[in-house]
Structure 1
Amino acid sequence: MTANITNNFSHTYTPFKALLIYAKSKTDEDNHYGTDEVYVESYDIGKSGRPVNAHPLSAKESILLGDILKSGQDAQNTFLKCRGIIPPNVLAINTEKEGYAVWYTPPMERQLFFIESLGIPSVPVKIPAMIWKAGRESLHLFAVKGSRKPNLQSLLHHAPYFNMHPDGRVCMGSVRINIEPDTCLEDFISLWERYFFNSYFSHTIDGGSKVAVNIVQLWQEQGRTGQKFPENHLVKINLTLQRIL
């Protein structure tokens, strides 16, 4: 049986604008033009398909042209493309202009780093399950209870760490974020987790670091006992996984 693929070719593109670029006569030996020697004239395209209404390129048209060119550059970003099969912990991928990925990590043991003045040992500790939402320049982090992979109705909790904004955004401080356009999804996830866990926790931000007990005492206790993370200390947010997707 053959598939009907007519709809795949149904988009029609209609010309609506034409640009004509004028330049001064070539004067240097390399035949190059300087940017100050160029004049751009814009034409609307009439119903007959012919250019009409010639006028100097306006500021509004320049902004539109810039957005089109920028969109073409953004399309080169591949950090949302997998090297192979989509990793099982990936929950969602948004490939729009300001794209992002959402993934899940189960309860685990990781070494956390704290500035010396907090009096918290920088040792491996048990941490709760987490949901990560990251673009090329920012990271949001949330906690979830239990060890099962979350579903759309899973309730989110404040990530119980320092350096957190109330909306879940992580303050990365002096950490230099460098996500190259050709980074694949697997490396993108690995880089963000490395940036987060290798940074130093130092401060709270406007009540963003919310737990049901004193946060310093919480992590002092976790470092001293090595016990499973006490999920009863997590503070619920009025959000589900579906809301952040």
Structure 2
Amino acid sequence: MEDITNSFGTYFYPSTALVFYQSEGGYNDTYVEYFDMDRNGTPINAHPLTAGEAKKLATALNIDEENLNQLRSDGILPNNVLSFDAKSATIIWYTKAQFRELLIAEGLGIKSGTAHVPPMVWKADRESLHVYALTTNRKPTLNTPLHYAPFFNVYENGTVCMGTVDIKASETGSIKELMTLWESYFFNSYFSHLMADHNPVNGNCVLLWESLIGSESIFPNEFLIKNNKKLKDIIYESAKN
């Protein structure tokens, strides 16, 4: 028979041991004794814990709070994830064309309702959201051109104005949950106005959504405008930050 135990992973051998002694009297006096371990795991060479050994212990037990706040995957990553950076908590993903409920502020003169929205690319961290549009449901590649997201409340650079929405994205480290939160925030906030005179569509944005909401019409790609960016541009932007 072949011995394959070395393939099971790294084995950790005991190297040191600490014994804490505490007074039973009214004083909270504590004494720490440090032991080396021999090859059989037996404590030897007992001596008081030195300052140098205490420093090594503190280093080993130190937990970086930033690491605790990093993104994590709850199992297999969703197929629509394009890129993510755990440390900065930045995720880039895409969604296919779909019918979504849109909430429209009264001032636009459009009724809220269900409308077909184009495929989208989303870029988010725990504090901000950027959105872009695609012309096809195919998974984008690095060279796929991006278009302006054809929605109100979106700046020319793709940043979404969330208004008074209470963002609680900082409370999760889950990639999947963070994506779900941002999509929910985006579609459950009221679309109210164009941002800084930026018209995100080739035509009248109000008339476009007035014709789509409440109908079975598919979003017309001829209304999308290229924004001179490709997917790789926003991925590399994230890598630099």
Fold equivalence (TM over 0.5): yes
Structure 1 counterpart SS, 2:131? strand
Match status 1:90 vs 2:81:
yes
Which of 55, 62, 69 is 1:77 aligned to?
69
Note the C-alpha offset of 1:214.
Answer: 0.5
Q: Distance in 1 between matches of 2:198 and 2:65?
A: 35
Asked whether the 8 Å contact 2:72–2:86 carries over to 1, the reply is: no
Q: Distance in 2 between matches of 1:233 and 1:203?
A: 18
Match status 1:238 vs 2:225:
no
Alignment of 1:128-139 (within 5 A): 128-139=118-129
Match status 1:210 vs 2:208:
no
Q: Distance in 1 between matches of 2:181 and 2:124?
A: 11
Deviates more, 1:221-230 or 1:128-137: 221-230
Q: Distance in 1 between matches of 2:198 and 2:84?
A: 26
Q: Which amino acid aligns with 2:232?
A: Q
Q: Distance in 2 between matches of 1:83 and 1:99?
A: 15
Q: Normalising by structure 2, what TM-score? A: 0.69
Q: Distance in 1 between matches of 2:183 and 2:205?
A: 21
Match status 1:169 vs 2:159:
yes
Q: Distance in 2 between matches of 1:216 and 1:235?
A: 16
Q: Normalising by structure 1, what TM-score? A: 0.68
Equivalent pairs, count: 179
Q: Which amino acid aligns with 1:86?
A: L
Q: Distance in 1 between matches of 2:74 and 2:89?
A: 17
Asked whether the 8 Å contact 1:163–1:209 carries over to 2, the reply is: no
Amino-acid identity (%) = 40
1:206 to 1:130, Cα distance in 2 relative to 1, 3 A: same
Deviates more, 1:220-229 or 1:138-147: 220-229
Asked whether the 8 Å contact 1:158–1:209 carries over to 2, the reply is: no
Q: Distance in 2 between matches of 1:191 and 1:102?
A: 14
Q: Distance in 2 between matches of 1:181 and 1:124?
A: 30
* Structure 2: gaps of 5 or more residues: 8-61, 236-241
Q: Distance in 1 between matches of 2:172 and 2:163?
A: 25
* Residue matched to 2:130: 140
* Structure 1: gaps of 5 or more residues: 4-68
CA RMSD of aligned residues (A): 2.3
Q: Distance in 2 between matches of 1:163 and 1:124?
A: 18
Q: Distance in 2 between matches of 1:105 and 1:229?
A: 14
Note the C-alpha offset of 1:221.
Answer: 0.6
Structure 2 counterpart SS, 1:141? strand
Alignment of 1:1-245 (within 5 A): 72-78=64-70, 80-96=71-87, 98-245=88-235
1:111 to 1:136, Cα distance in 2 relative to 1, 3 A: same
